[in-house]
Amino acid sequence: MPELPEAEAVVRRLRRQTRGAVIAEARVERPRSVEPQTAETVESLAAGASIKTVKRRGKQVLIRLSNGLTIRIHLGMTGDVYVVDDYRFRPVFARVWFRLVSDRGLIFEDARVLGHLNIYTDAELAQVLDPLGVEPLSAEFTPALLQQLAAGSRQPVKVFLMDQTKVAGLGNIYAAEALFAARIDPSRRAGSLRKTRIARLHAAIIQILSEAIDSTATAYSRPGAFSEGESFTPQVYGHEGEPCVLCRRRIRRIQQGGRSTYYCPGCQS
DNA sequence: AGTCACCTGATT
DNA sequence: AATCAGGTGACT
């Protein structure tokens, strides 16, 4: 599921579904999902609080409660958060769930258990969020700032883009797609990019994320939308060996930082 | 800066 | 059986 656009889709859906919701009870099925907190801590802190706001920071979902605490969910690779009509309905991979007073359920599902759900005070939350870099869809994200962040970095630009302490929210798919849109070789050192490419990359990041949010948020909100082809379609990610949509050369897959990077050797140089 | 470990499922 | 997976933190 989750890079920034998917987290944003989750947030928008939750906002609609949890307006005025009050948490009656919390249950942790998998203590690992709330580490370093304990199941008991999480279960006791949420009970009785109402949901005030739902926000996103990078890839993380933040549910602000009336008791001043915040449920912070990192979706990991396979996390999802959603409301079900009956709290007794328990999806196979529900790791934490909340019974709302309406008897609906708020579910944190996470097959691989690489995500985390915690309940934090503002101070604790700040510790978690402060290291994150700029929000790519905010006004603070400018070409000049991107240039400044990349300056001196000898990392491949693809790896640089996935560093959450620089720009928050890009993962393996959208980093690759942004580089394709900007026609930049993913292996280029981030610090070697000059004004023109930085400007293209900046614009591409915003464009790719915005597009993905539009299609993803739609798809999440309307049943069947995915099957109607409304989800974001990667141009290079997952397309190893297929012809590039622009130049027909074959898309390549390489390893960078232990992850697959897909790119077009013709367009991206 | 690169590799591995975390944990489990889907796909080949 | 083996490989891959939209993420990250700890460790060489």
Confidence of residue A220 (pLDDT cuts 50, 70, 90): low
Q: Which of A13, A56, A57, A59 is catalytic?
A: A59
Q: What tens digit of pLDDT does each residue of A141-198 get?
A: 999 999 999 999 999 999 999 999 999 999 999 999 999 999 999 999 999 999 999 9
Active site (annotated) includes residue A52: no
The answer on pLDDT for A249 being more than 80 is yes
Q: Is the CB of A47 under 7 A from strand B?
A: no
A32-47: average pLDDT: 96
Q: Residue A104 in 3-state DSSP? A: coil
Q: How far apart are CA A168 and CA A182, in angstroms?
A: 19
The answer on pLDDT for A219 being more than 70 is no
- Residues 67-126/A with CB within 7 Å of nucleic chain B are 92-93, 111-114
The answer on pLDDT for A230 being more than 60 is no
Of A172, A70, A185, nearest in space to A129 by CA: A70
Q: What tens digit of pLDDT does each residue of A52-104 get?
A: 999 999 999 999 999 999 999 999 999 999 999 999 999 999 999 999 999 99
Of A114, A106, A135, A99, nearest in space to A33 by CA: A114
